[in-house]
């Protein structure tokens, strides 16, 4: 990771050391088993809470540390640089996405009920947007919530839901009205309600330890008090929070790309072919120089965006640019790093192979690269 970044203060550097110790003590000994099992242990979440790594931006009044998003960014960077990619092992969906919705749109009762539990890890949160027939175009959401007295009755299906096997609370995008964005709302749905059912833990190319699931809602009765924000305003609420989600993905991508680059530099200096280290060949040096330049540009823009976000000034266009650049750059970096490893780069026992597989989805979730380009183009 880059030293002496002006965007951070000494207290953020102290947290960075804490996260590194946590990764070595609480993740490294178990990670291979989690990858094979397809999910982390449930008590990993409470251990993360005890270490102060969950939802550090939550105010002290709700059990949090009262930090700004830079604290979240440190946790993201360190866990992804450590190589433990995926929402199951890095807390991002829970801390950096779901928590933001409760802080921004939750009622006082909702905040007092859920935020302390999310900070401690007693409650794991997921957000359910995607459906089998609806990806980036959220206006196609079909999961319906029909008002029945002081309850909504929810019927529908979601897929590709991170934290799907472990979650206790789901922020669900549902249709409470007619077609289009004006008919969509957000509901807090507890997973122990009758009619809620988890589907299978999906078999993925990468992020193997991150549980990613289908969800089914069959006549789930949810109190009207569980409405998050205003009825019919889901799209506006989503648009307000998506910049932070996209900055989160950009942070993940650049930290993982830096890890791949650093691993490859070590490998290239140690691996010998035709009597000399791979790093001694001009082609290798020039390739590594290009990757270093890409990373330097990415970190500079990431730090600009992080500072703007903390100041409440991060635009949708800048967040989309960060997500597009960093995820696409990650793809270029890990691909070249695998190439420089030769045949060993294709073996899963080598970390670079896993980093390659884990990188691919970064250009898809949180809005595809194509959607990012469309959003950026609208501002031209």
Active site residues: 245
Tokens encoding 357: 């597989």
Q: What is the radius of gyration, based on Cα positions, of the chain?
A: 21
Provide the b/e sequence for 92-109 (b: ≥16 CB within 10 Å).
bbbbbbbbbbbbebbeee
Q: Which residue's entry shows tokens 């597989």?
A: 357
Helices and strands (H, E) in the chain, number of each type: 13, 10
Are 236 and 310 spatial neighbours (Cβ–Cβ below 8 Å)? Answer: no
Tokens encoding 202: 């999906």
Four-residue CA torsion sign, 227, 102, 141, 312 = positive
Report d(CA 274, CA 340) in Å as an integer: 15
Report d(CA 165, CA 37) in Å as an integer: 12
Are 363 and 369 spatial neighbours (Cβ–Cβ below 8 Å)? Answer: yes
> Length of the chain in residues, anyone?
380
DSSP summary character for residue 98 = I
Report d(CA 314, CA 304) in Å as an integer: 9
Are 172 and 187 spatial neighbours (Cβ–Cβ below 8 Å)? Answer: yes
Report d(CA 104, CA 380) in Å as an integer: 29
Are 79 and 51 spatial neighbours (Cβ–Cβ below 8 Å)? Answer: no
Four-residue CA torsion sign, 315, 320, 322, 325 = negative
């Amino acid at each position: 990771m880059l030293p002496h970044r002006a965007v951070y203060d000494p207290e953020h550097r102290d947290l960075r050391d804490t996260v590194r110790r946590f990764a070595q003590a609480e993740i490294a000994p178990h990670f291979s088993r989690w990858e094979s099992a397809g999910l982390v242990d449930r008590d990993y979440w409470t251990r993360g809470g005890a270490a102060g790594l969950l939802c550090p931006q939550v105010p002290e009044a709700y059990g949090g540390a009262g930090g700004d998003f830079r604290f979240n960014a440190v946790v993201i960077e360190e866990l992804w640089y450590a190589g433990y990619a995926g929402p199951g092992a890095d807390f991002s969906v829970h801390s950096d996405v779901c928590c933001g919705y409760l802080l921004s749109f939750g009622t006082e009762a909702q905040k007092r009920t859920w935020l302390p539990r999310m900070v401690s890890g007693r409650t794991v949160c997921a957000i359910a947007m995607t459906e089998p027939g609806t990806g980036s175009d959220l206006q196609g959401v079909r999961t319906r919530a029909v008002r029945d007295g002081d309850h909504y009755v929810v019927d529908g299906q979601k897929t590709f839901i991170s934290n799907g096997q472990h979650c206790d609370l789901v922020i669900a995008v549902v249709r409470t009205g007619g077609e289009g964005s004006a008919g969509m709302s957000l509901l807090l749905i507890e997973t122990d309600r009758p009619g809620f059912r988890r589907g299978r833990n999906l078999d993925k190319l990468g992020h193997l330890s991150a549980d990613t699931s289908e969800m089914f809602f069959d006549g789930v009765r949810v109190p009207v008090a569980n409405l998050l924000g205003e009825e019919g305003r889901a799209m506006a609420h989503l648009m307000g929070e998506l910049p932070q989600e996209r900055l989160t993905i950009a942070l993940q991508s650049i930290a993982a790309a830096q890890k791949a680059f650093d691993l490859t530099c070590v490998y290239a200096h140690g691996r010998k072919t035709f009597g000399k280290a791979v790093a001694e060949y001009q082609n290798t040096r020039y390739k590594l120089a290009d990757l270093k330049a890409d990373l330097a540009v990415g970190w500079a823009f990431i730090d600009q965006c992080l500072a703007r976000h903390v100041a409440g000034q991060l635009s949708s266009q800048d967040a989309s640019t960060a997500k597009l650049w960093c995820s696409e750059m990650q793809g270029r970096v890990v691909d070249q790093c695998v190439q420089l490893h030769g045949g060993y780069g294709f073996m899963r026992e080598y970390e670079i192979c896993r980093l390659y597989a884990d990188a691919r989805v970064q250009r898809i979730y949180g809005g595809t690269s194509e959607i990012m380009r469309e959003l950026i183009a609208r501002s031209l």
